[in-house]
Structure 1
Amino acid sequence: MAVKSLNSIRRNFSPWTDPAAKPYIQFENVTKQFGDFTAVNNLSLTIYEREFYALLGASGCGKSTLLRMLAGFDEPTSGRILLDGQDLRGVPPHKRPVNMMFQSYALFPHMTVEKNIAFGLKQEGMASADIAKRVAEMLKLVKLEQFAKRKPHQLSGGQRQRVALARSVAKRPKVLLLDEPLGALDKKLREETQFELMDLQQDLGLTFVVVTHDQEEAMTMADRIAILDKGEVMQVATPQEIYEAPGSRFVANFVGSMNLFEGEVTRRDETSADIQIGPDLLIRTVNPGNSERKAGVNYAVRPEKIRVSSKKPEETGVNSAQGEIFDIAYLGDVTNYNVKLDDGRIVKATVINSNRLAEDPLTWGDRAWISFKPDAGIVLTR
C-alpha cells in the first residue's frame, strides 16, 4: 500500500478531551461471568467514532470477551453496551453494524480472493453488479487486484491478511473488530502492516477496536489504549501518556521496561520532591504527583532516561549512584546495561549507539555511575 502521512489527522484527533463529544461505543458497568469465573468485572469504557482503539492486556484479562460481547457472540451478565446510542442487548450478531476479523482470517480455501470478499455480500442478497463493483473497490483498497483469481493457499501471510480485511470491510460496517489481527505475521511484515492498517482505517473512516497482547502494536496503531487486568480497566490513555505517565505500578511494569525505586518522601513542595532510596541514593524529582511528605512511594524511570558512564557525574548524591556492570545486551541500535548498585539493587539502562564505536566503552565487571535528570521519571502512589 502507498505510504502517506497521518500526522495532521492523528495530531488533531482527540474527541475524548471535548466535554461536548458524544461517545460512539459505551460499555456501562459491564460484567461477564462464565460459571464461577468473572471474565469482565463491572467495566466501563467509552470509544469515539473514527477512533483506533486498542484493548491491551495479557491472556485472560478479558479483552477478547469484550470484543465478543460487542460483536454479539456473548451477552453481558449485567450492564449495557451501546453503539451510537442503541442498546445492543438481544440484537443478534448479523444485525449489528459491526464486523469481526479473526486472527486465523477464516478464509474459504476453495474460493478465490474475489469470491471470499464477495461471500458476505451475496449472503445479504446484494445485486450481482453491485457486488462486482464493491469487490473491485475492496481489491483496489488493499492493493490485491492482480491476485483476484488466486486461492488463499497461493498467497503469502500478509496477502491473506489483506483479503480478510477486505472481506471484513466490504459490508461497510460502522465498527471493525480485530482480534489479534497481525499475530500470524512475521515481525517485519507485522511492522509494515501496522501502518497499512492505520492508512486503511483513515481511508474508510471507520471505528477500529483491536485486541492485542503486543505492546508495540498497540502503541503504534492506537489513538488510545485501554490496559486491562483480570477483567478490570487499569488505565485508558494515549500511547504517549501510557508510556510516560503510567497511572500505577501495574501499568508501569506492564508497558515497556521500567525501573521502580521504593522509598520515602523526605521533602515536598508544590513543584518538586526528594525521595530517599536506601542509604546511598537520593532522588530529586519535578514530577511529584500527589505524594506527601513521609509517605512511602515508588519512583518510576525508564531505562532510556538513565545515563551510564565510567565518569563521575558533576553532581553526586542526587539522582546518581555507583555500581558494577552486571549484564550487557548489545542490540545494534541500542545497548542494554544492568548495573548492580553498591546496595545490591539492579538498575536497567538503555544507551543509544549513535556512533559506530562507543565513546565510553564499558564491559562486564566495570565500575560505572548511573545518573538521570529530575524530570526523567514520575512518582507513583499506587
Structure 2
Amino acid sequence: MAKSLGPVKRSFAPWTNPAEKPFIRFENVTKRFGPYTAVKNLTLDIYEREFFSLLGPSGCGKTTLMRMLAGFEEPTEGRILLQGKDLSGVPPYRRPTNMMFQSYALFPHMSVARNIAFGLEQDNLPKAEIEARVAEMLKLVKLEEFARRKPNQLSGGQRQRVALARSLAKRPKVLLLDEPLGALDRKLREETQFELMDIQQTLGLTFLIVTHDQEEAMTVSDRIAVMDKGELMQVATPAEIYEAPNSRYVADFIGDINIVEGTYAGEGPTPQFSRIACEGFEALVAHPCTAAPGSQVAFAIRPEKIRITRDAPAEIAVNMLQGEVLDIAYLGDFSVFIIELADGRTFRAAQANVSRLVDRPMTYGDQVFLSWPADAGLVLTR
C-alpha cells in the first residue's frame, strides 16, 4: 500500500494502483434540469468494496449524482459504467444497486421481518430462502428480538437499521445511502456510523453515501469527494482532505481553520520551506510553494495545531502572534479560544483539556501568545 497521510482504518487503497479497474465510473457526466446545470462534466472512479462519500452543501449535485447511478435520473451528457458496462437505459429495478432513503420509507402496517422480506417477495424467491435471508439480515443489524414489531414500536435508530437490512437483503453490488443518519441524535449517529463500517466490511460491498455532515464523511469513508456547484473540488482520503486541502474552499469547508491572505515571499532556509508574508506577521511553512514569488496566496492553520501560552515562546521570530482572549468555548474534551489581534482580526486556537484541574486557567481578557511549528501550516494557492 502506498504511503498515506495520516491514519488509515485498513490496508485498502486500490486507487493508488494504476492497473486496478474502477468498479463504478462517472465519465464526463453532465446533468441539466432546464437551464440549471446540477452536475458539470464530472469524471469520478469508485472502486469495489470502497466506502465512498459524496460530501458538500445543499445544491452541490451530490444527490443528483447518486440518483443517476440508481437510475432515477439519466445523464444529459456522458456515461455511467458499472463493472465496465454502460448503465444507459437500464431501469432502476434492473440495476445491481439498492438505495436507502433518508426517510427510511418503511411500511407502517408491516412487521420488521415483513419489511425486510418485501423486496425478496417481489422477486418471487422461494419462501425458505426468504426466511433464511431475513433471519440473516436481522442478525446482521442485531434486531432478532424485534422481528414481529411494527415500525412505530421502534426507536429512530432501530428503524434506521430495519431500512438498512431491507436495502441489503437483495444483496446489491452497490448500496446507496442518501443522508441515512440525518434523523438520529448525535450520540446514536456516531454509534451507527461504526456499525455501518462494520457491516460494509463484513459483507464486502461497495457503499456510496451522500452527506453534508463532515464528521460523518470523515468517520466512515475510505475516500471523500468534496463537491461544490456540480463540480469535484477534491477527491482523497479523510486525512488528506483535512491535512492537505487543495484549495481555500476545501480547507474552509472541512473542519475549523484560520485562513489569512498573504503573498509568497520565496523559499525559506531550504527549498522545502516557504515564507508567506501576511499582514502583521510572517509564516514559515514546511513545504514548497508552486506559485511565483510575489503571488497572492493564503496561509492556513488548524486551531488544534496552535499553541497558546501566556509567555512568549523562546527563540521564535516567525510563526508567532500576540493577542487578547476575546471568547472561550468549553467543549469538554477541548476548549476553543478566540484571540483578537491588535488589528482587530481574530484567530482560533484549540487546547485539549487533558487535566480536570488547571492551576491558572486562561480566561477572558488575558494577553496571550500563539505559536506553531513550521509543519503545522499550509500554503493555499487557489
TM-score (norm 1): 0.96
Mapped partners of 1:252, 1:9: distance in 2: 20
What do residues 83-113 of structure 1 show as CA deviations (whole Å, max 9, x unaligned)?
A: 0011001000000000000011000000001
* 2:301 partner amino acid: V
Once the two structures are superposed, residues 92-149 of structure 1 have per-residue CA deviations (whole angstroms, 9 ceiling, x without a partner) of 0000000000011000000001100000001011011111111111111111111111
In structure 2, what is the equivalent of residue 94 of structure 1? Answer: 93
Change (3 A) 1:291 1:105: same
Q: Secondary structure at the match of 1:11?
A: coil
8 Å Cα contact 2:340/2:347 also seen in 1: yes
Code of the aligned partner of 2:351: V
Show the counterpart of 2:293.
Answer: 293
CA contact (8 A) 1:61 1:231 kept: yes
* Aligned 8 A contact 2:274 2:289 in 1: no
Residue type at the aligned position of 1:274: R
Q: Is the 8 A contact 1:287 1:377 kept in 2?
A: no
Of 74-83 and 280-289, more deviation after overlay is shown by 280-289
AA matched with 2:295: A
What's the counterpart of residue 274 of structure 1? 275
Partner Cα distance (1:180, 1:104) in 2: 9
Unaligned runs of 5+ in 1: 1-7
Indicate the larger mover: 51-60 or 268-277.
268-277
User: 1:43-82 to 2 correspondence within 5 Å?
Assistant: 43-82=42-81
Distance in 1 separating the partners of 2:57 and 2:262: 29
Q: Do 2:22 and 2:83's aligned partners in 1 also have CA atoms closer than 8 Å?
A: yes
Distance 1:154 1:342 in 2: 59
Aligned pair 1:155/2:127, yes or no? no
Q: Distance in 2 between matches of 1:113 and 1:248?
A: 46
Residue 20 of structure 1 aligns to a residue whose secondary structure is coil
Describe how 1:108-257 pairs up with structure 2 within 5 A. 108-257=107-256
One-letter amino acid matched to 1:275: I
Shift of 1:359: 5.0
**Aligned length, in residue pairs:** 374
Q: Please give the alpha-carbon distance, in whole angstroms, between the structure 1 residues aligned to 2:82 and 2:101.
A: 21
Q: Is the 8 A contact 2:116 2:165 kept in 1?
A: yes
- Structure 2 contact 31–38 (Cα < 8 Å) conserved: yes
Q: How does 1:340-379 map to 2 (within 5 A)?
A: 340-358=340-358, 360-379=360-379
1:184-209 CA distance string (max 9 Å, x none):
11110000000000000011110000
Alignment of 1:314-333 (within 5 A): 314-333=314-333
**Structure 1 stretch displaced more, 291-300 or 246-255:** 291-300
**Structure 1 contact 288–378 (Cα < 8 Å) conserved:** no
In 2, are the aligned partners of 1:274 and 1:284 still within 8 Å (CA)? yes
What is the letter of the counterpart of residue 346 of structure 1?
T
Structure 2: distance between partners of 1:112 and 1:13: 38
Q: Return the alpha-carbon distance in structure 1 between the equivalents of residues 281 and 315 of structure 2.
A: 12
Backbone CA RMSD of aligned residues:
1.2
Code of the aligned partner of 1:38: T
Please tell me the residue identity of whatever aligns with 1:285. V
Q: Which moved more, 1:23-32 or 1:360-369?
A: 360-369
Under a length normalisation based on structure 2, what TM-score does the superposition of the two structures give? Answer: 0.96
Deviation above 3 Å: which 4+ runs of structure 1? Answer: none
- With 172-181 and 361-370 compared, the bigger mean Cα shift is at 361-370
Aligned counterpart, 2:84:
85
Counterpart-to-counterpart distance in 2, 1:358 and 1:377: 28
Corresponding position: 1:14 with 2:13 = yes
Percentage of pairs with the same residue: 63
Q: Which amino acid aligns with 2:377?
A: G
The residue identity in structure 1 corresponding to 2:151 is P
Post-superposition shift, 1:360?
4.7
Whole-Å Cα distance in 1 between the matches of residues 359 and 285 of structure 2?
Answer: 28
Q: Which amino acid aligns with 1:113?
A: V
Matched residue type, 1:73: F
CA deviation after TM superposition for structure 1 residue 361, in Å: 1.8
Within the alignment, does 1:103 sit opposite 2:102 as a pair?
A: yes
Unmatched 5+ stretches in structure 2: 1-6
In the alignment, which residue of structure 2 is the partner of 1:27? 26
1:345 CA displacement: 1.7
The residue type equivalent to 2:362 in the other structure is: L
1:334-345 superposed matches below 5 A: 334-345=334-345
- What secondary structure is seen at the aligned counterpart in 2 of 1:46? strand
CA shift for structure 1 position 342: 1.5
**CA distance in structure 2 between the aligned counterparts of 1:316 and 1:345, rounded to whole angstroms:** 21
Q: Distance in 2 between matches of 1:251 and 1:9?
A: 20
